[in-house]
Amino acid sequence: MTRAVFLDRDGVINRALERDAKPFPPRNLNEFEILPEVPTALKKLKAAGFLLVVATNQPDVGRGTLKQETVEQIHAHVVSQLPIDRVEVCFHSGKIENECDCRKPKPGMLLRAAKELNIDLKQSWMVGDRWRDVDCGYNAGCKTIFVNRGYAEELKYQPDFIVKNLAEAADIILSAK
């Protein structure tokens, strides 16, 4: 079995758009900006043998306010620029209880990737900037790292670590035994 680092997209890999201290996804490729520390951090993790899997909720598709093709175009760009092994996406709106098993904080995206890529979840990490990411990692049995962006929301589970950015998260992951 292999180890993986699961990464939220908006706020971890790319700059999230903020309104009223809440993060929002970019609406198109022109608004999509990879954060400066991300390429180096991901190269280090990849060199250490980790699979890199993006796990992202994109509920605007399910709500009809963003086209799935736009999200897929952004993900094609991400994969072309960064050493990402897989992108898992939940397009469900999140408006209907039990709509799916993949919308974070549920662990469905991580469990699916683990099954298909032979990932040992107990030796893997979830890195995210929202409570849903931390809870998803916890629910999947991963170690968790919270990238604190100062959003106006509280954590439910305490993450294993709190950092300022993906570079700090990568350093923690690489120094863990």
CA-to-CA distance for 49 and 161, rounded, in angstroms? Answer: 21
Asked if 8 is an active-site residue, the reply is yes
Q: What is the DSSP track for 57-76? A: E-HHHHTTSS-HHHHHHHHH
Taking CA atoms, 118 is separated from 39, 44, 99, 123, 124, in Å, by 25, 21, 26, 12, 12
SS3 content of the chain, % helix, strand, coil (to 5): 35, 20, 40
Q: Phi/psi at 47 (nearest 5 deg)?
A: -60, -30
Give Cβ neighbours of residue 116 (< 8 Å, ≥ 6 apart).
Answer: none
Longest dimension (CA), the chain: 44
Active-site hit among 10, 60, 129, 133: 10
For the annotated catalytic residues, the residue numbers are 8, 10
